[in-house]
Structures are given as structure tokens and as C-alpha cells.
């Protein structure tokens, strides 16, 4: 972390990405001045703006809302990290289910938890662990997963989160055995995740999440969406800065093209990733799917021309949704995705605008029934009608002109 990929390295990543599935892609290089600036030291703690960044794990105890667990306590609640307690596995390590209560430590509230254990042989390490503790130790919002505590003993690094009953959005959308999510649930998840990102972007010191994807959106028992995994999060540009220069990190298929090419990170990079996830919700297809015909492997490349054509637009909607949505709601959601995916970052909406656009789509049932594709063709003439600016969204001046509906590649 904290290294800046050169333009050549970034280009190499793009080329390499064509041969890869969705994985985090770190590049190697040296720390940039901006990177160092963003990792604020303990001496900055007098600054009242958030989030404060602590570089030394001994000072984490300053986050009084976090519990410092011992390794023994976490071994106890996961039955020594037994395989039947495994919830999943990611780049950081394995995630186990556990339960904390008075038996673990006097005074602990009874709570199911998820315990994430750093894989010492993996690509992530103390830095990602500390970034997660730094951000989630301070940021609290109904659409961010709650960090309950941590463990830092010898070279062991663990994180303890609130247990998210329904696991990841990725599993619900793409696991063959999972029942398809309804239109209403998908719109609710999109709104919840958008609110989480908007909260980060609107913080006193804005935070760029940098790894927005379906596997990092966790679902509570009532399908409330919460963002997890802040290991790649960055404090956004400050003062006169227009961007943060950083080593390119993220996940193929989700990272904004200008960020991959230049390493220049802005909140608009998250908006692009949001557009990709919205497309996944709308189509039921993965951002990158190597099992599909070559033209359809990149969801954005396959869908973008269709988003600018009202007649084709309805063909991309997940067929499993059948007639659960209105044409108008589908058009609005597709139009929103189109603008989030603008090549020009300035043409993308703010996350607060995205929230405003999604709000009226809640409960957007089939009052206006989805006609079969042939009928849709007859009733909706006009090739460019699909991506008019969505009412309610405050697009930057010239946004529509900057990305005309036909100039989509």
C-alpha cells in the first residue's frame, strides 16, 4: 500500500486485466508525497476533523468504542477457528462466526460477531488491518458495518465485526443456489449502499472507499446493505488538491478507468464502481465473467451501448425479475448507471445525487407492466432516448454534452 504506480505500470495492469478475473490489483512502486500526507500521524489527533489516522497500533486504544480482544478470547468464541465456523474467505484472510457474551468477558453485551483473521502468507498485512481499524473505529453509520473490536497480539491481526446475517450481496446475486433477489430488494440494497458511500464522501474530511463491489456489501437480516472492508480506504483530496495520487489498488471490473490509467483517485472513482454494482443488480450479471462469450465478458462494455438505446435498454434487465418493476423505474435506474459510468469523471453524479435518484425508486413495482421485448420495440421508438439526464439528479454543467448518449466507448 502507499505506493504509486507509474503510467506504464498502470497500462500494464489494464492489459493484464483482460486475462484476469476480478481480483485486487496492487502495483509496486514507491510512496508518493500525497500518500504520506494522507497517513496522518498521531500528532494530528488534536485536529477535530474526522477521520483521524493513527499510524501506530499502540494508540488504537484511543478509539474508546472499540474492544481490544485477546487472542485467547477470539479462539474461545470461534472454537479455535474451527472449519465449521468459517463464513468465508477473502484477500485479508478467513472470516469466522463467533458469539460474544458475559462468559467471554464480564460486561460484554451478548452479540453474534464475525471474526476476520489476517492470513500471514497473504498479500494484505498490518497496514490494511490498521487502515480498517482507523476508519471503522471512527465512522459510524447505519450503512457501514460496525467494527466491534480488534486483536493485535505478536504478529496476529484480527478484526471483530457485527455479524451480518445474510452475508454478502455477491453470494445473493451470483450463487446458483440462492433465490433471486426481488426488484424491490435490489433497489433497497442500491439505496443503502449509496447512502453508505454518500456518508463517506460527505464526511468533514471526505473518505474514498476504493473497493466498492458486491462482495464488500454485506446484508443484514432485513437486507439492510452495509459496506465492509475499509482496508483500501483513503482520506480524499484536501485543500486545493483535485485528487489523491496513489498506487492503483482495487478490483478488476469495478475500478474507474481514469484511476487505473493515472493513479489519480477522487470520490468520483467510487461513483464509477457504484455504477458497476448498480448494473450487476439490474442485470444479474457479474462485472467480469470469463464464462460468457468474449463480447459479454466485461459487463460495462457489453451494456453501455444498450444503455444509450431505449429500445435495447429493457433487454438487459435480469430476466429473473420478470414483471416486478415498472418500465419507468427500470429506465431511471439504467440512466443513473449510465451517468455513474461516464468516462469523464466530472460527468458522474455525486453520491448524494445518486441517493436522491434512488429514493423515489423504492417500491417501484409493476404499476406500468414490463412488456415483452417485441412490444417494447414497437412502443418505444427513438434510438437515444434511454439516457436522458435523470430528473432530480444535479449533473455538473455540461455533463450531458460531455458524454453524449452515442459517444459511449
Ligand X SMILES: Nc1ncnc2c1ncn2[C@@H]1O[C@H](COP(=O)(O)OP(=O)(O)OP(=O)(O)O)[C@@H](O)[C@H]1O
| C-alpha closest to that of 97 among 118, 119, 82 | 82
The one catalytic residue in 56, 84, 155, 211 is: 211
**Residue 219 Cβ, how far from Mg ion at the closest point, in Å?**
13
Query: Is residue 208 within a helix (H) or strand (E), and if so which, with residue range?
Result: strand 207-208
DSSP state of 322: T
**Residue 87 Cβ, how far from Mg ion at the closest point, in Å?**
11
CA 192 – CA 208 distance, rounded (Å): 17
CA 281 – CA 187 distance, rounded (Å): 8
Q: Which stretch binds ligand X (CB under 6 A): 44-52, 214-222, 261-269, 385-393?
A: 214-222
Regarding 163 and contact with ligand X (CB under 6 A), the answer is yes
Q: In this structure, are residues 248 and 306 in contact, taking their beta carbons and an 8 Å threshold?
A: no
Q: Answer with the entry of Mg ion, ligand X, none that 95 interacts with (C-beta below 5 to 8 A by kind).
A: ligand X
Q: In this structure, are residues 44 and 36 in contact, taking their beta carbons and an 8 Å threshold?
A: no
**Residue 370 Cβ, how far from ligand X at the closest point, in Å?**
31
Among 53, 100, 145, 355, binds ligand X (CB under 6 A): 145
DSSP state of 23: -
Cell output for 215 = 462482495
Q: Which stretch binds ligand X (CB under 6 A): 12-20, 164-172, 286-294, 354-362?
A: 164-172
Residue 234 marked in a binding site: no
Q: Which stretch binds Mg ion (CB under 5 A): 6-14, 90-98, 298-306, 313-321?
A: 90-98
Residues 210-229 contacting Mg ion, CB under 5 A = 216, 229
Regarding 95 and contact with ligand X (CB under 6 A), the answer is yes
Name the E strands within 13-155. Answer: 67-68, 86-89, 93-100, 111-118, 147-153
Q: In this structure, are residues 243 and 237 in contact, taking their beta carbons and an 8 Å threshold?
A: yes
DSSP state of 22: S
Regarding 161 and contact with ligand X (CB under 6 A), the answer is yes
Q: Note every long-range contact of 103-111, with CB atoms under 8 Å and residues 24 or more positions apart, other chains counting.
A: 104/73, 104/76, 104/77, 105/73, 108/67, 111/148, 111/162, 111/163
Q: Answer with the entry of Mg ion, ligand X, none that 167 interacts with (C-beta below 5 to 8 A by kind).
A: ligand X
Residue 211 main-chain phi, psi, to 5 deg: -140, 45
| C-alpha closest to that of 356 among 395, 307, 318 | 395
Regarding 216 and contact with ligand X (CB under 6 A), the answer is yes
Residues 226-255 contacting ligand X, CB under 6 A = 228-229
Cell output for 113 = 460477531
Q: Answer with the entry of Mg ion, ligand X, none that 32 interacts with (C-beta below 5 to 8 A by kind).
A: none
Regarding 215 and contact with ligand X (CB under 6 A), the answer is yes
| Position of minimal CB gap to ligand X | 90
**Residue 237 Cβ, how far from Mg ion at the closest point, in Å?**
25
Q: Answer with the entry of ligand X, Mg ion, none that 88 interacts with (C-beta below 5 to 8 A by kind).
A: ligand X
Question: Is 211 tagged catalytic?
Answer: yes
Q: Answer with the entry of ligand X, Mg ion, none that 259 interacts with (C-beta below 5 to 8 A by kind).
A: none
Residues 289-328 contacting Mg ion, CB under 5 A = none
CA 213 – CA 174 distance, rounded (Å): 13
Interaxial angle between packed helices 327-340 and 267-283, expressed in degrees from 0 to 180 and rounded to the nearest 10: 150
Regarding 149 and contact with ligand X (CB under 6 A), the answer is no
Regarding 217 and contact with ligand X (CB under 6 A), the answer is no
Regarding 299 and contact with ligand X (CB under 6 A), the answer is no
**Residue 228 Cβ, how far from Mg ion at the closest point, in Å?**
6
Residue holding cell 425479475?
321
Cα four-point dihedral sign 171, 185, 23, 36: negative
**Residue 24 Cβ, how far from ligand X at the closest point, in Å?**
6
Residues 16-75 contacting ligand X, CB under 6 A = 24
Measured from the CB atom, the residue of 34 and 215 that comes closer to Mg ion is 215
Q: In this structure, are residues 248 and 232 in contact, taking their beta carbons and an 8 Å threshold?
A: no
Among 51, 91, 98, 386, binds ligand X (CB under 6 A): 91
Which positions lie near Mg ion, rule CB under 5 A? 90, 216, 229
Which residues line the annotated binding site? 116
Which positions lie near ligand X, rule CB under 6 A? 24, 87-92, 95, 114, 116, 145, 161, 163-164, 167-168, 171, 215-216, 218, 228-229
Which residues line the annotated binding site for ATP? 116
The residues that are catalytic are 211
Amino acid at each position: 500500500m502507499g505506493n504509486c504506480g507509474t503510467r506504464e505500470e498502470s497500462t500494464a495492469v489494464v492489459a493484464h486485466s483482460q486475462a484476469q478475473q476480478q481480483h485486487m490489483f496492487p502495483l509496486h512502486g514507491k510512496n508518493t508525497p500525497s500518500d504520506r500526507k494522507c497517513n496522518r500521524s498521531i500528532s494530528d489527533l488534536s485536529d477535530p476533523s474526522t477521520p483521524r489516522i493513527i499510524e501506530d497500533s499502540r494508540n488504537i486504544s484511543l478509539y474508546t468504542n472499540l474492544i481490544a480482544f485477546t487472542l485467547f478470547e477470539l479462539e474461545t468464541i470461534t472454537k479455535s477457528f474451527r472449519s465449521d465456523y468459517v463464513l468465508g474467505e477473502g484477500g485479508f484472510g478467513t472470516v469466522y462466526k463467533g458469539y460474544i457474551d458475559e462468559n467471554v468477558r464480564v460486561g460484554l453485551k451478548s452479540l453474534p460477531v464475525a471474526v476476520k483473521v489476517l492470513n500471514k502468507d497473504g498479500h494484505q498485512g498490518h497496514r490494511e488491518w490498521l487502515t480498517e481499524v482507523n476508519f471503522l473505529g471512527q465512522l459510524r453509520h447505519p450503512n457501514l458495518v460496525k467494527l466491534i473490536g480488534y486483536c493485535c497480539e505478536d504478529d496476529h491481526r484480527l478484526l471483530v465485526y457485527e455479524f451480518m446475517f445474510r452475508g454478502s450481496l455477491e453470494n445473493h446475486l451470483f450463487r446458483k443456489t440462492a433465490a433471486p433477489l426481488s426488484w424491490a430488494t435490489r433497489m433497497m440494497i442500491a439505496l443503502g449502499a449509496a447512502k453508505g458511500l454518500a456518508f463517506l464522501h460527505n464526511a468533514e474530511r471526505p473518505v474514498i472507499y476504493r473497493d466498492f463491489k458486491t462482495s464488500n456489501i454485506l446484508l443484514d437480516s432485513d437486507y439492510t446493505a452495509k459496506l465492509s472492508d475499509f482496508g483500501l480506504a483513503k482520506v480524499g483530496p484536501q485543500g486545493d488538491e483535485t485528487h489523491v495520487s496513489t498506487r492503483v489498488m482495487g478490483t478488476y471490473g469495478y475500478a474507474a478507468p481514469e484511476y487505473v490509467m493515472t493513479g489519480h483517485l477522487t470520490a468520483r472513482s467510487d461513483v464509477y464502481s457504484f455504477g458497476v454494482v448498480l448494473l450487476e443488480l439490474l442485470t444479474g450479471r457479474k462485472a467480469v465473467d470469463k464464462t460468457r462469450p468474449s463480447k459479454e465478458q466485461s459487463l460495462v462494455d457489453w451494456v453501455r451501448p444498450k444503455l444509450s438505446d431505449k429500445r435495447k435498454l429493457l433487454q438487459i434487465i435480469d430476466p429473473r425479475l420478470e414483471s416486478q418493476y415498472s418500465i419507468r423505474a427500470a429506465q431511471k435506474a439504467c440512466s443513473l448507471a449510465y451517468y455513474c459510468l461516464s468516462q469523464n469523471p466530472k460527468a458522474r453524479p455525486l453520491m448524494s445525487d445518486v441517493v436522491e435518484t434512488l429514493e423515489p425508486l423504492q417500491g417501484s413495482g409493476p404499476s406500468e407492466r414490463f412488456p415483452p421485448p417485441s412490444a417494447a420495440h414497437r412502443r418505444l421508438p427513438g434510438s437515444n432516448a434511454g439516457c436522458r439526464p435523470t430528473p432530480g439528479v444535479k449533473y455538473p454543467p455540461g455533463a450531458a454534452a460531455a458524454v453524449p448518449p452515442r459517444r459511449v466507448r
